[in-house]
Structure formats: C-alpha cells, structure tokens
Amino acid sequence: MNLPEQPSESGVPAESQAARMRASDADRDEVADRLREALAEGRITPEEHAERIDVVYNAKTYAELEPVLSDLPPERAPRPRVELRKDEPVLPPPPAQSPNLVAIFSGVERKGRWLAEPTTNITCVFGGADLDFRQAVLSRGEVTVNVTCVFGGVTIVVPPGVRVVGSTTAIFGGNDLPEDDTTDPDAPVIRLTGTLLFGGVSVKRKAVGEKGGHRVRHGEVHERHREKIERREHRDERRERLRELRDERRRDR
C-alpha cells in the first residue's frame, strides 16, 4: 500500500503528514487482500495472518497500516512463476454458453472445458442433468447452481479443493454432498440453491481423469424417492384398512 502524496508544509515532511491521515475502509480492505496473498504464497503463517488482520481492521491511520506490510515485497514486485503443469499451454477462456439447462423427460449435461457463469440455472422435470466441474473455468471465486427439480435428479462432479455449499429447499427430496477437503479460505465455492420436489442433487468429488462410474443414471434419484413414497402409501393404506375393520367390529356389537 502506498501512502497518498501530500504537499509538504512548513517544518512537516510530506511523508509524515500522509502517515497521520485517516485510513478508509477501502484502504483496510486493500491491505487485507495483500495479507491474504502473502498467506497463500507461504510468506506468513496462519497465526501471523490472524494477528495482522486484527491490526488492520483496528487501524485508524496509514501509520498503523504500514508496519503490517513492512516485511512483505511491494505489490508490483516481480515474482517467480511456478508452472505445475509445464506440458499444458495457457488456454484462453472457453466461449460463453447459455446459463440455463432444461431437461423435461430427457437428460442434459455439461462437461469438459466450459465457462461456469456466476449463476447456472437447471430445470429438471422427470429428467436429469449432469454437470462436471473438473475442467470448468469459474467466472468468479463463488458460483451458484440454482436447481428446480421435480421428479428428477442432478449429478455434479467437482475436483478436489472445491467447497460445495448446499442451500436448497427439499420436499420429499434431498442433497448428497461430500465433506470439505480443504481449509483454504480462498477455495472456490459452488453454492447450490433452488427447490427439490421428489428429486435430489448428488455431488461427487473426483480428480481430473479419475474413472469409476461417476455418472449416475438419469432418474435414479427420482426412482429412490418414488419407492419411498410407495412404501409410505402402502403403510397408509394398511392403517386405513385397520380402521375400517375396527369400525365394522364396533357396529357388529
């Protein structure tokens, strides 16, 4: 963070004058972003990050913010680039596709390298949808998959290191979500919203190239819920029949 330039006054250096100026919320957020980058790069430990964040959001002036970054490289300093996969060239973003997927008595899928918009809307009516995020390019750090599912099912595959948050409303349905496998606060997030009626969403975590039948048959989730409903209906029918028999015995008396 650079101090704002101020004209010097008599006997007061310009830098000292700027240091005494009050810091804004935007200034504190900028410093917090720099600290988050330093934590991700391994320059500071999680404990140091927590201590410095407390200082940042309690700081009132630029002078209080400056020491937090004093032992970190300048914001625009050249940094060594580490390529984990040297055999793969840097590819341009994939072309945008419709964020709306509809499956009515049918199936729809999106896999391979595709651009995940901030919100992807899925509508399934007696159908199913498969979304594979393992090679998807997220348009931002958190994207939303909004599901409207009636007698259908949605199968989602995510790679390791992606956090999945379920915020759907389920009526005779539900979500099957994997546990988080990362503690990184900046991990990508896929948030599930929408309404599930006699349907469900199943999320599996698999690495790129991992095989093993991640694809779930369209309607499988619906089939499981239909069986539950049938068992419940049979139970209700038996109870009603027992009530009728009791009523008949009472009348015969």
Mean pLDDT within 206-218 = 60
| Residue 163 scores a pLDDT above 50 | yes
102 phi and psi, to 5 degrees? -125, 130
What angle separates helix 25-40 from helix 46-58, to the nearest 10 degrees? 170
**pLDDT tens digits, 7-38:** 444 454 545 565 678 888 888 888 888 898 88
Q: What is the pLDDT of residue 252?
A: 72
| Residue 110 scores a pLDDT above 60 | yes
The single-letter DSSP state of residue 215 is -
**pLDDT tens digits, 187-205:** 899 999 999 999 899 999 9
**pLDDT tens digits, 61-88:** 888 888 888 888 876 444 444 333 444 5
Q: Give the C-alpha separation, 67 to 155, whole Å.
A: 49
Q: Give the C-alpha separation, 78 to 126, whole Å.
A: 55
Residue ranges per structural domain of the chain = 14-69, 100-233
Grouping H, G, I as helix, E, B as strand and the rest as coil, residue 184 is: coil
Q: What is the pLDDT of residue 19?
A: 62
Check if the beta carbon of residue 39 is closer than 8 Å to that of residue 56: no
Percent of the chain beyond pLDDT 70? 75
Q: What is the pLDDT of residue 232?
A: 64
The rounded mean pLDDT for the chain is: 79
The single-letter DSSP state of residue 87 is T
**Confidence band of 109 (pLDDT split at 50, 70, 90):** very high
**Tokens 């596709």 found at:** 97
Among 66, 57, 59, 64, which Cα is nearest to 32's?
57
Q: What is the pLDDT of residue 21?
A: 82
Grouping H, G, I as helix, E, B as strand and the rest as coil, residue 21 is: coil
